[in-house]
Amino acid sequence: MLVKCTCHGSTYEIARRKILRALVEFRIRGVKTNIPFLASLLTHPTFIGGTCWTTFIDDTPELFALIGSQNRAQKLLSYLGDLAVNGSQIKGQIGEPKFKGDIILPKITDKTGHAFDVSEPSTKGWRNILVEKGPEAFAKAVRANKGCLIMDTTWRDAHQSLLATRVRTVDMLNIAKETSHALSNAWALECWGGATFDVAMRFLYEDPWDRLRKMRKLVPNIPFQMLLRGANGVAYSSLPDNAIYHFCEQAKKCGMDIFRVFDALNDMEQLEVGVKAVLKAGGVAEGTVCYSGDMLNPKKKYNLEYYMGLVDRIVKMGAHILGIKDMAGVLKPQAATLLVGSIRKKYPELPIHVHSHDSAGTAVASMIACAQAGADAVDAATDSMSGMTSQPSIGAIVASLEGGEFDTGLDTTALRAIDSYWAQLRLLYSPFEAGLTGPDPEVYEHEIPGGQLTNLIFQASQQGLGEQWAQTKKAYEEANDILGDIVKVTPTSKVVGDLAQFMVANGLSYDDVIEKASELDFPSSVLEFFEGLMGQPYGGFPEPLRSKALRNRRKMDKRPGLYLDPMDFDGIRKKLKDAYGGCTETDVASYAMYPKVFEDYKKWTQKYGDLSVLPTRYFLARPEIGEEFHVELEKGKVLILKLLAIGPLSEQTGQREVFYEMNGEVRQVTVDDQHAAVENKSRPKADMGDSSQVGAPMSGVIVEMRVKDGGEVSKGDPIAILSAMKMEMVISAPHSGKIGDLLVKEGDSVDSQDLVCKIVK
């Protein structure tokens, strides 16, 4: 078929621009090069100047360096079609959102009834001091402040702790300008880093750097804080030092201000890598002590002397601010008074910032105790996103301190207005709720961090251990003791959690793990911990358990960065450019942290495009038949969509046709029906009495095969890599022999004790 388009104008330039606009509106399926070629021709300087010659096309090879259409609308329809047929594929989602209506943006007023003009962000705030005078002056201003400053964690740790880190960028941007006014006196917003970085790519299919840039544009006045895992960056084990420096440089350029730097084992050498990287990047370095156990109990491992020794070293590093990070919410009010009071007495000029969780229900009291003992800032979350595994209520803390010596400077009326938005939004994310109904003082025993507990509940459910949750919590205590009573925060908390689930899934007791360590296929995170990839634990590694578990694997008894080769950034840039046609420095940083996650994210966006523009309701659940909704691809470009029909299943192809109306025209996408394609066949189980049979140690997905049918293996050789959510485990050969009856392949889902293969001696 031939399509002819004729345009005219009063001048050559007007006609040229008119035909270019007309071409942009064309959609021709199947042929990918015709319109891009014509657009390349029409925009070439020689053509614009009107000086072309007969062989111009032959003589101008750059005309064929085509940039194709983004085809954003069709990619978006492909996702919506898949959603309509197969439902949401977002991991962790159970059911559909409870909230079906439109979220109403609040009108922001203060106590006097004055309404804020939120058409533009506020320009008043603590960040002005930082931008104009630098980190040192900022730290001095914090210490000179007479009241208690507040950092709002709603944009990161609150939803990480309550909603499995699944809150999307669009939902924070929708309330961003209002937040810039309502919290203009807030010390900071915690909004980035930690688990939000990989979850953005892994589960939400968003660019975390794009999130940071967009938030910064709409909230220019309040300092942003991120969570940096020391020498791990935002990854789960140590990286080369240059990767941390590169990451911090990019984060600062994209708008990050305060870096809360911690090490999961309070390994000060590991922590110092992060602090120095932040200082070099020009950020505010908050060197952080992780609080664990009960310092008031003389039988516990971590006492006041231990913590004061850590503070001394952080001060010597040159950190601008001292952070105290109570990951599990086990810092009791009396302990808070003693710890903060002791630090304040020894270091009267040092700004102190305290973070906690409300798991036991005592965090409001603990944060007030911190303020009274000399802390300059404490963390809190908006009321409807506070409590339990999240941070304490911002409204409760502000009201408790209002009008007194430690007044926060925040307006409770404005805070409640912001909270009305989050109360609605939480209902939209109801599929990610963990089902917690109140405080859990048992946290003083199991010490599961608030940010981990909800994820652990979900992981246990996914692995078929949901009904054994009480047993999992008890196993968490035992796993911690097995590992030497370590400080538990990402990534070491993951080590304890992985070991606990491994024990429950395989029916292992404390004694079983100790006695059978040389035979067990421990989760990868446990082996990485024993190797020393996460640093050195206080008091050393438990022996002989460590040596038995590692067998022939290496041991690092110094800082891991000393053993690692520098990151090859030039090689990464070349690889990304070859694979995707180009890359940014933030792409390089993402790949350095999570190579596989970044590649999977890019594959997803190549297939479905940028889904961050899609309203969350239609990201998580299909619209009703006949329901109309809008999607703004960019300013001025809006799609008006309506789901018309879902066709019958084709028995020959296992596919369905999905029909949408887009801007008045009917569009159709073909979708594989995953429910039709799955045959309900159970896998044979391994006979535990037959030593030749190798079974899956727990439920998960086979992500990598290391052997082939007929191949020879020695005892301990890896057979396959099993992944269950973020936990990876090596399935290894229990003895030497020849692989036979290999029943799984990469991508297969398996249940616990499903037969993987046989090894014939």
List, by residue range, all CATH 3.10.600.10 domains of the chain: 82-99+614-677
CB atoms inside a 10 Å sphere around CB 627: 12
- 678, pLDDT greater than 70: no
What is the total residue count of the chain?
Answer: 761
Question: Helix, strand, or coil here: 628?
Answer: strand
Residue 30's region, left for phi above 0, alpha for psi from -120 to 50, else beta, is left
Spatial distance between the Cα atoms of 705 and 730, rounded to a whole number of angstroms: 10
DSSP state of 325: E
pLDDT of 679 > 90? The answer is no
Place of tokens 């590649």: 599
Q: State the CB neighbour count (10 A cutoff) for residue 132.
A: 9
Which top CATH class is 82-99+614-677? alpha beta
- DSSP code, position 105: P
In degrees and rounded to multiples of 5, residue 333 shows phi and psi of -55, -40
Got the DSSP string for 494-563? HHHHHHHHHHHHTT--HHHHHHTTTT---BHHHHHHHHTTT---TT---TTHHHHHHTTS----S-GGGT
Write b or e for each residue in 719-758: b if 16 or more Cβ atoms lie within 10 A of its Cβ, otherwise e.
bbbbebbbbbbbbbbbeebebeebbbeeebebebbbbbbb
Longest Cα separation, the chain:
91
Which helix (H) or strand (E) segment is 759 a member of? strand 755-760
The answer to whether 204 and 174 have CB atoms below 8 angstroms apart is: no
What is the arithmetic mean of pLDDT over 64-71?
64
The values of phi and psi at residue 198, to 5°, are -75, -30
Per residue in 74-105, pLDDT (tens digit) is 899 999 999 999 999 898 898 999 888 889 99
Which range has the worst mean pLDDT, 202-206, 407-411, 697-701? 697-701
32-43 tens-digit pLDDT: 667 778 888 888
pLDDT > 70: percent of the chain: 97
- The confidence band for 29, taking pLDDT boundaries of 50, 70 and 90, is low
Please check whether residue 510 is in contact with residue 500, taking contact to mean a CB–CB distance below 8 angstroms.
Answer: no
307: closest CA among 279, 335, 349, 277?
A: 335
DSSP 567: P
Confidence of residue 288 (pLDDT cuts 50, 70, 90): very high
Q: Where do the DSSP E strands lie in 267-421?
A: 284-291, 321-326, 352-355, 377-380
In this predicted structure, the answer to whether residue 56 has a pLDDT above a threshold of 80 is yes
The one-letter code for the residue type at 421 is Y
Q: Residue type for 312, please?
A: D
How would you classify residue 194: left for phi > 0, otherwise alpha for psi between -120 and 50, otherwise beta? left
pLDDT of 2 over the 80 cut: no
Q: Where would I find the beta strands (DSSP E) of 579-650? A: 628-634, 637-646
Residue 272: predicted pLDDT: 98
Strand ranges of the sheet holding 718-724, from the earlier edge strand across to the other edge: 727-732, 718-724, 700-705, 749-750
Q: How far apart are CA 99 and CA 107, in angstroms?
A: 21
Distance of alpha carbon 639 from alpha carbon 126, whole angstroms: 39
* Distance set, CA 622 to CA 628, 643, 658, 664, 676 (Å): 12, 9, 12, 19, 19
Instruction: With a cut of 70, say whether residue 677 has pLDDT above it.
Output: no
In the chain, list all ranges with CATH 2.40.50.100: 693-760
Mean pLDDT within 371-379:
98
| 626 SS3 class | coil
How many other β-carbons are positioned within 10 Å of the β-carbon of residue 196? 27
Question: How far is residue 303's CA from residue 308's CA, in Å, rounded to a whole number?
Answer: 9
The residues with which 355 forms a beta bridge, in sequence order, are: 325
What pLDDT, on the 0 to 100 scale, is given for residue 382?
Answer: 98
Confidence of residue 69 (pLDDT cuts 50, 70, 90): low
User: pLDDT band at residue 725, thresholds of 50, 70 and 90?
Assistant: low
Angle at 294 between CA 290 and CA 296, to 5 degrees: 125
Fold of 693-760: OB fold (Dihydrolipoamide Acetyltransferase, E2P) (2.40.50)
Tracing tokens 């020794």 back to the chain, one arrives at 309
- One-letter identity of residue 217: K
Q: How many Å apart are CA 3 and CA 492, to the nearest integer? A: 63
Token output for 110: 């203060």
313: helix, coil or strand? helix
Q: Is the pLDDT of residue 476 over 70?
A: yes
Q: Report the 3 state secondary structure along 635-687.
A: CCEEEEEEEEEECCCCCCCCEEEEEEEECCEEEEEEEECHHHHCCCCCCCECC
Rounded to an integer, the average pLDDT of 619-634 is 93
Residue 414: partners with Cβ closer than 8 Å, 6 or more residues away: 108, 109, 110, 116, 181, 182, 183
Half-sphere exposure of 319 (CA within 13 A, CB side): 33
Using one digit for the tens of pLDDT, what is the confidence trace for 351-367? 999 999 999 999 999 99
Average of per-residue pLDDT values in the chain: 92
pLDDT at 576 over 80: yes
